[in-house]
Amino acid sequence: MIGIIGGSGVYEITSKADNVEKKIVNTDYGDVEVSILDIFSKKVAFIPRHASGHSIPPHKINFRANIDALKNVGVTQIIATNSVGSMNLEMPPGSFVIPDDFLDFSENRDKTFYEDKVVHIDVTQPYCPHLRDILDKSGDVILGGTYVCTQGPRFETPAEIKMFKMLGGDLVGMTGLPEVTLAREREMCYNSICIVSNYASGISENELTIDEVFEMVDALQKDLLELIYNFIKNAEDKDCSCHHALDGAEV
């Protein structure tokens, strides 16, 4: 089963579904509403990351519950969407970027399922290369880039952006971590479509507003949904190293 974790621009994914079933999935970390969709004769599980009405801010998202809920309904591959600011002029607003690495500056988030035993997962390739290849043939995307995750909910300062650039960051957002590493701990393939909505603070000539982000995402909605639908069409059930992430990881 394919899992989709999305925010603005993705809520309309149900429009091409032949069938929609909403269910409450119980996890050890909380209950999650998951929509089970039939799209192109495939099962797709969809979770709106910020809940209905975009009501949950990034620093309050229950990442463990969301990932565990997808695992519990049988998901093996996850595609997430993340709105981001760009620190790289070669990744302009309007681009879809498939990241291949991250820097985590988020704070006070539950970042592992393993609180009572020692588990060290490998993140040499934190984003699944198999899903990257499928996304590459599913639409117009930029391959590669380092995603920087900040705590939010405020936007970043120009000095912070300057620091992130010096460290090798290309994109900045608030929702990508610990989602990607939690998926790895649950041995699911995971990749992200980063939706570049604006240039980051200090690069953009204007003050940043959430309206600017929503306006760009709305403008890209059609292309984003087409990319996701093409991914669903092209996705294949294939064994991957992500499915064996705990091999050799537990002490």
For residue 249, what pLDDT is reported? Answer: 87
Cβ atoms < 10 Å from Cβ of 100: 18
Distance CA 127, CA 99 (A): 7
Strands 142-143 and 96-98: parallel
pLDDT score at 102: 98
What confidence score (pLDDT) does residue 85 get?
95
Q: What is the C-alpha end-to-end distance of the chain, expressed in Å?
A: 30
How many CB atoms are closer than 10 A to CB 222? 11
Q: What is the pLDDT of residue 28?
A: 96
* Per-residue pLDDT reduced to its tens digit, 187-214: 999 999 999 999 999 897 777 777 778 7
Residues of the chain with pLDDT under 70: 8-9, 52-54, 251
Residue 130 has φ and ψ, to the nearest 5°, of -65, -45
Domains, the chain, ordered by start = 2-244 (3.40.50.1580)
